[in-house]
Structure formats: C-alpha cells, structure tokens
Structure 1
Amino acid sequence: MILVGPLAAGKSTLGALVAERLGRPFVDIDDIAWSYCAEVGWTLDRLLERDEAVGWAAAEREWEPARAHAVARTVADHPEAVIALGAGYTSFTTPDHAEQVRQALAPVPDVIHLVPSPDPARSVAVLRERAIASRGKDWIIDGHDWIARWVADPLAAEIAAATVFTDGISPDQSAEQLVQLRECLLAELAA
C-alpha cells in the first residue's frame, strides 16, 4: 500500500499502523529519499543552498527530477512495504516528472489518497492546524501557500485507487478503514 496526500494528512501515522496490522515493513520516503536524491546529484545542502539563492518555490521546481527519481526507487526497492509518500513527492510542475511518478505507481493496486475532507477549504484548515501543532509552521512560504497547493494538486488523487477522508476519525479507525479498503481493492483485482 502506498499512501499519498498533502502535508499533515496522516500518511506516516496511518502507514505505520497499517503496516503493523498487515505484518509488513513501513517506509516513510522522507526518511530514505536523500540517498536516492544523491544518485541524481541532489543533497539536502544543495536544496537549502538553492532555496537561499532562488527562493523555496524555484528550488522545489529544480528539485523535481530528484523527487521523481526517489519515488521510483522507493517503490522498486520496497515492494512489500507500506509506503508513505510525502506531499512533495506527488506534486510537480513539470509533466515529465509527474508522468515518471505515475509510471512508478501504476503497478501498485492500493495507492490511497488521504485528505481530511472532501471540502478543499476544510482540508486546508485542518492540515494547517495540524502542521502548526506538530511542526510549528503554517507552510505559507514566500507568499506561496503550500498546504493549499498540495490540496489542490490533482496528481495525488489521479494516481490513487481511492481517497480516504480522515477528519473526525481516530488514527486507529482510519487504519482499519485502510486495511479493509486494501482487501476490497485486491479482491477487485483478483476478480
């Protein structure tokens, strides 16, 4: 299972719970991506240098090839894992990089998009509250509202087999819902 969605959607929390229930390893791309990014010449120091030189939005665009590469490598190297893909790993301005991620995830039948609510404004409000509580940051950087951008970006929903809404549901309830959804998706595939 691969979990996608905006920042603070619960991908890591729910991914760990689902992995435990399924007896599978859990992989958070945020924990391993830099080794893959280095394969194509990107390090955290380089990203921070580019952020300082050109601003966060431009640095994020420049870093897109490395993020797409990291997704492809993570999926290939961890086929039995439950994987959490951070928001930036399914948000691209360059169609070629988005297509690379689509291709990497295409064979995975249980890619699930997590958002708090079907209402984008509600999702942004919930995610901003969670981000401030957990990371002390509202994710409005240089005039760009990254949480709103990630909620509005269509790629995560396009590549997912299903979307799960988590607002008002406990992590344990959401994890159980994901396990049941996975069983349904795999049963449909087998039919």
Structure 2
Amino acid sequence: MKSDIILIGPIGTGKTTIGALLAHRLSLPQYSMDERRWDYYKAIGYDEELAKHKRETEGFWGVYQYWKPFEAYAVERLLSEHNQCIIDFGAGHSVYEDAVLFQRVQQALAPYPNVVLLLRSPNEYESVQILNERNKYVPDDKPNINEHFIRHASNYELAKFTLYTKGKTPEETCSEILNLIKGKSLYGWNHSTSC
C-alpha cells in the first residue's frame, strides 16, 4: 500500500492550500493536478480548438464531457510518475459518469489508503451554497458544477476519509488529516510538529 496523501473534492474546498501545508509539515513534495493536466491531456491528443468549439456550442457541460477521458488518463499518469508525496486533484478528476472511466480511476487509486475528500459541510446544500459564494469563477450553467461534484457518488466511493472544513482554518484541517492517518507509517513523520 502507498502512503501518499491524495486530496479530492469540489472546486474551492482548499485542496491545493491544504496540500501545501501537508507537504511542508511532512517534508514531502506536492503535485497539483491543475498544474500538470494540460500537458497530460495533450500527450494523448487533446484538441484545444475542439474543446473551445464544444464550449461555445454546447456550453460548459459539453466541454466537461470532452475532458473526461483525458482526466482519467491524467490521474493514471500523475500517480504513476510521482510517489512519496502529497497530490491534490482537480475537482473533476475524481468524478466520472462513465463506468469504464470511473473503474480506471478507482483501480489507479486502489493502492492508496490516504485518499481524503474535502467538503465544506456534511449538509450537501450548505456545501454548495458556501462554495458558490467563494467561487465566483465557477460556470453558472445548470446544474451547478460544484453541486454536481458534491452530489455525485464518485468522490464518496473513491475517498477513504471525508473531512468537513467549515469553521476550520487550513492549519486545523491539516492537523485533522494527520490525526486520521497517524496510525499508518508515513515516511517517519513527526506527530508533535504542528501544521
């Protein structure tokens, strides 16, 4: 089993911020999917013009569906290239409507016991409201993309732990993650140091 920590969840839940705190705390490198995704997509034929056309003619949901095979490949590639690290996924990289794509991602994540789903609140409606207020850049298509990510089963099936961050600082969430996984061997990290 791999001891890397992988953070998943909807847009704006603090995956990258908390990932940076964990990386600092554990003296491990951090890899953010959003920084690498386009190179991975292009490696298997991602067509920017086609994506732009889909966005213009079919709206956000058209381009979202176009991204899905590339997202599954990006997950496989990122996990195969990096280990002993903290990884934060882009929000869509853990949500799949297609069963075959979902199975690929599920299989890629199977060896990882520390997959942490970050949500704002256990109440789905409240989570959507909080994230919509925080993320003015989220497309306002219907259904709302963060609502889709929060309600979809994929994140819950992939996660080994779920944490709710409402009312907590990133440092508190970092400490909570470390407490959840402290029974596991993680490269000799020291529990006494705060995030």
Partner Cα separation in structure 2 for residue 92 and residue 64 of structure 1:
7
State the match for 1:122 in structure 2. 126
Contact 1:34–1:44, Cα closer than 8 Å, also in 2: no
1:89-109 per-position Cα deviation (integer Å, ceiling 9, x unaligned): 011221111111101111111
Unaligned 5+ runs, structure 2 = 186-195
Give the superposition deviation at 1:140.
1.7
Q: What amino acid does structure 2 have at the position aligned with 1:104?
A: A
Counterpart check, 1:84 vs 2:83: no
Q: Show the 5 A alignment for 1:158-177.
A: 158-177=157-176
1:46-72 per-position Cα deviation (integer Å, ceiling 9, x unaligned): 422321233221221122110000011
Contact 2:7–2:117, Cα closer than 8 Å, also in 1: yes
Unaligned 5+ runs, structure 1 = none
Counterpart check, 1:60 vs 2:64: yes
Counterpart check, 1:140 vs 2:125: no
Task: Normalising by structure 1, report the TM-score.
Answer: 0.89
Contact 1:117–1:167, Cα closer than 8 Å, also in 2: yes
Task: Normalising by structure 2, report the TM-score.
Answer: 0.88
Q: What amino acid does structure 2 have at the position aligned with 1:168?
A: G
The count of residues paired between Structure 1 and Structure 2 equals 181
Partner Cα separation in structure 2 for residue 167 and residue 123 of structure 1:
9
SS of aligned partner of 2:7: strand
Specify which structure has the higher proportion of helix.
1
Give the superposition deviation at 1:139.
3.0
Partner Cα separation in structure 2 for residue 120 and residue 17 of structure 1:
26
Counterpart check, 1:47 vs 2:46: no
Contact 1:61–1:92, Cα closer than 8 Å, also in 2: no
Partner Cα separation in structure 2 for residue 112 and residue 10 of structure 1:
12
- Percent of matched pairs sharing the same residue: 30
Computed over aligned residues only, the root mean square deviation of the Cα atoms, in angstroms, reads 1.4
